[in-house]
Structure 1
C-alpha cells in the first residue's frame, strides 16, 4: 500500500461510512424519528460524522499494519425508536438494514462506473463528443477511486451485516427473535464489540469476510 493508494482509499472510505450512517438516519426520519435531522446528521458533510477512533485511528492503524482490507466507521447516527410510526421492532430492522444496503448499492454502482471508464468504446465516444485526445489523465484516477470504493463498500456491507450486536446484522437478529429471547440477550450486547475485536485480531473475522468479499469482487470487477 503506497501513498497513491492511501490518497484514493481515504475519500472512498469517507463516502462509504457517511452514506452508511445517513441511510440509518434517513430511514428513521421517514419512519417518524427526526432525532438525526435535529442534530444535523442528515447531511453528506463529513465533519459531523467523523469519529476520532473509527474514521481516523482505526484506518490509520490498518494502513500502518499493511492490512489487506481497509474499513472504519463514522459516528453513529442517533435514533429514537419510540418515535417510529410503525412497530418499534420492525422500524429497528428497517433502519439497521439501511446502512449495509446502501453500502451494497454503492458497491454495485461504483463497479458499474469502474467497468464503464475501462470500456474502450465508451472512452472513444466520450473523447469524440468533447474533442479530447487522451483521457488517461482523467480516467486512471477515476478508475482507481472507483475500484477502492467498490472494495471498501463491499467490506463494510459484509462486516455490518454479521449477526453480532451491536453491528447492524446483530440488531436485525435481536429484533427478529421472540421478545423474551431478545430481552435475555440484550444485556450482553455491550460485549459484542469486544467479541468483534477478538475475531478481528485472531483472523477469524477475515476468514469469514474475505471469501464473500473475493467472490463479489470477482463478479463485479
Structure 2
C-alpha cells in the first residue's frame, strides 16, 4: 500500500538523519570507552551521545506521526518529506527540534516539540485520528524501554559508568517527553488523542488555546511545587524501571560538562 501511494524518494532515509545517527554512535563509543576530547571533561562524550540520541528520538517521534497518518489515509506526508526522517523537513522545525534542544541544554527537560502537519481531512474514523496523535509519544515510551532495559534486565555488568549514566539521563528525558506529550492539553499530542471524541462545541471553545498549550505547560513547570511533584513522578517511574537516583543525577551532572561537575560521580572504563 505504501509503495503505491508514495514515491521511493519520499521514503528514502535522509543523509541528515544518517549524520545524526553517526554522531550518536561516535558519542556512544566515547562514553563507553571513556574517551575525553577535552582532558578532564569526560562529560563531553555524554553530552554528544545524549544530545544526538535525543534528536534521533525527536525524528522518530515525528516519523511515527507521519507513518501512522500515511496508513490512515493521509498520503500527502510523503511529498512533504516527513518519511525521510529529515528534521529540516518538519513544518515546525523550531518547535520540533530547536526548542526541545534548548530546554535540554538549559534544564535537562525532555520538552515535547511541535507536530508535523497532518491533513486530518484525509483520515476517516476517530480511532485513526487518536492513533495518529498517540504514535509520537508511544515512540518515546519505546525509546525509554530500550534505554532502561539494561537496568530492569540487570544486565549492567561490564557497562562503563559513563555510558550507564548517559543511558539513565536519556531515559529520564524520554519518560519526561512521553508524560508531557500525553497531557490532554490543547496543542499537545494528548489532546489530539481525546479530541476526536469531543463534541463540536467543546472543540470550538478549546481551539483558540491550542497555540498556547506548550507555553502553558512550560509556565506550570516553573512553579516550584508543581515542578517538584512532576519530577517526583518521573523519578518514581524510573526507580521502578531499575534506574536509581544516583544514575539519574550523575547522568545530568556529566551532561552539563561545562559546569565541571560536582565530583560525586566516578567515571571508570
TM-score normalised by the chain length of structure 2 = 0.63
Match of 2:140 among 100, 103, 123: 103
Residue in 2 that maps onto 1:126: none
**Taking structure 1 as reference, are residues 198 and 119 closer, same or farther at Cα in structure 2, changes over 3 Å only?**
closer
Could you tell me how far apart the structure 2 residues matched to 1:175 and 1:194 are? 23
| Mapped contact 2:141–2:174 kept (Cα < 8 A) | yes
Q: 1:32 to 1:98 in 2, by over 3 A?
A: same
Query: Does 2:62 correspond to 1:41?
Result: no
For 1:85-164, what aligned pairs fall within 5 Å after superposition?
86-87=124-125, 89-113=126-150, 118-120=155-157, 139=160, 142-164=163-185
Q: How far is the alpha carbon of 1:23 from its aligned partner?
A: 0.7
Residue in structure 2 matching 1:187, options 186, 196, 208: 208
In structure 2, relative to structure 1, the CA distance for the partners of 1:90 and 1:185 (3 Å cut) is same
Deviation at 1:94, TM superposition (A): 1.0
- Is 2:127 aligned against 1:82? no
Q: Determine the C-alpha separation between the residues in 1 that align with 2:44 and 2:54.
A: 15
What is the CA distance between 1:109 and its match in structure 2?
A: 1.8
TM-score by length of 1: 0.75
Inter-partner Cα distance in structure 2 for 1:147 and 1:185: 37
Matching residue of 2:101: 59
1:220 aligns with 2:241: yes
Residues 127-180 of structure 1, C-alpha deviations (whole Å, 9 max, x = no match)? xxxxxxxxx6xx555434433332211111011011111011122232222233
Name the SS of the counterpart of 1:42 in structure 2.
helix
- The verdict on how the C-alpha distance between 1:40 and 1:54 changes in structure 2, with shifts beyond 3 A counting, is closer
1:28 matched to which residue of 2? Answer: 69
Go from structure 1 to structure 2 and tell me whether the alpha carbon gap of 1:205 and 1:11 turns closer, same or farther (over 3 Å shift).
farther
2:65 aligned counterpart, secondary structure: helix
Q: How many angstroms does 1:98 deviate by?
A: 0.8
- Total equivalences in the alignment: 200
Query: Per-residue deviation at 1:218?
Result: 0.5
The runs of 5 or more residues in structure 1 that have no matched partner are: 124-135
Cα distance in 1 between the residues matched to 2:201 and 2:99: 38
- Equivalence map 1:195-210=2 (5 Å): 195-203=216-224, 206-210=227-231
Residue 65 of structure 2 contacts residue 135 of structure 2 at CA under 8 Å; is this kept in 1?
yes
Please give the alpha-carbon distance, in whole angstroms, between the structure 1 residues aligned to 2:156 and 2:213. 44
Deviation at 1:47, TM superposition (A): 4.1
